Amino acid sequence: MMDQEDTNQVPISQETVKKLAEMVRKLLNEKERNSKPEDPDVTTRAPLTQFPVYPELIEALPSIEGDFFGTPLTEKEWKEAIDSCHRSSSMNYHPPQLNDSASSVVKKVDADLHGIQIALAQATRLIDYYVHRIIQDNPQANSEDPHILFSNTMRVLLGDTAAKVTQKILENLNKGMELPGKPQQLIEPETKPLMDQEKLEALITSRNPEKRSIVRNPFRGRQQYGTKNSTGKKIAQAQTMEAATTPATVNNP
């Protein structure tokens, strides 16, 4: 009896979600038409909006009121959630390994970041299996289905976070090993620097030997300056003494 009631409720829930999604889409389109600026050269940005948290939402999603950054699961809870869903045959759940030649300090930081990446990869199992069950129950479902669309969005966000961690690993390797040049970039930044980084580093390197030679002999110029002055003083003193000892010449008429 319970299974029959649940089966009858699923299509109603999906239909309700579709109607809500269509209503939101229409509202957004209407808002976009009304918010067009009079000046074609002026671009309007979407304002920051939020919705209130109401009792029904809290009841359906209790974690929405929790501390997102300070409420970790226990190891048992985590394993139960992950192991309840099968792995996907096309997914690689193991991030790239760090090079063996890396220093111990770099490896220590990498181990922590490596664990975060594994957790993100394992979390996709719940999403993949959820979409798998949707398709099994409704073979006509496609990427436009609200549930599948939401699942795909969440999976992309998890992948983006994992990629950002990979970038941090590359930067940690470059900095920890004091490698020349910039670390490898998974995505090139949209804003380019004023001067090419490699050219700038080459110029800085070419100036370093000159700076080191100046620092290595800080008193060379001062010593030469002192020798030159002392020699000049001795010559001036000799000329003064010679003039004092030489008798003046008297012209007789």
pLDDT digits (tens, 9 = 90+) for 4-40: 444 444 444 566 666 667 777 777 666 666 555 566 6
Residue-wise burial string across 10-49, b where 16 or more C-beta atoms lie within 10 A, e elsewhere: eeeebeeeeeeeeeeeeeeeeeeeeeeeeeeeeeeeeeee
The predicted model gives 81-105 an average pLDDT of 90
The more confident residue out of 151 and 9 is 151
In a domain, 57, yes or no: no
Poorest-pLDDT segment among 13-27, 83-97, 127-141, 206-220: 206-220
In a domain, 154, yes or no: yes
DSSP letter assigned to residue 69? T
To the nearest whole percent, how much of the chain has pLDDT over 70? Answer: 68
In a domain, 30, yes or no: no
In a domain, 153, yes or no: yes
pLDDT digits (tens, 9 = 90+) for 41-65: 777 776 778 888 999 999 999 999 9
Q: Is residue 170 within 8 Å of 183, Cβ to Cβ?
A: yes
In angstroms, the Cα distances linking 212 to 44, 137, 159, 199 are: 54, 73, 47, 21
In a domain, 5, yes or no: no
In a domain, 93, yes or no: yes
Q: Is residue 109 within 8 Å of 176, Cβ to Cβ?
A: yes
Number of domains in the chain: 1
CA pair distance 155, 138, nearest whole angstrom: 21
The more confident residue out of 124 and 228 is 124
State the maximum Cα–Cα separation within the chain, in Å, rounded to a whole number: 153
Degrees (nearest 5) of the Cα angle 140, 144, 148?
80
Q: Is residue 87 within 8 Å of 93, Cβ to Cβ?
A: yes
Q: Which pLDDT score, from 0 to 100, does residue 5 have?
A: 43
Domain range for residue 135?
A: 73-179
CA 234 to chain centroid, in Å, comes to 68
The predicted model gives 202-230 an average pLDDT of 57
pTM value > 0.85: no
In a domain, 52, yes or no: no
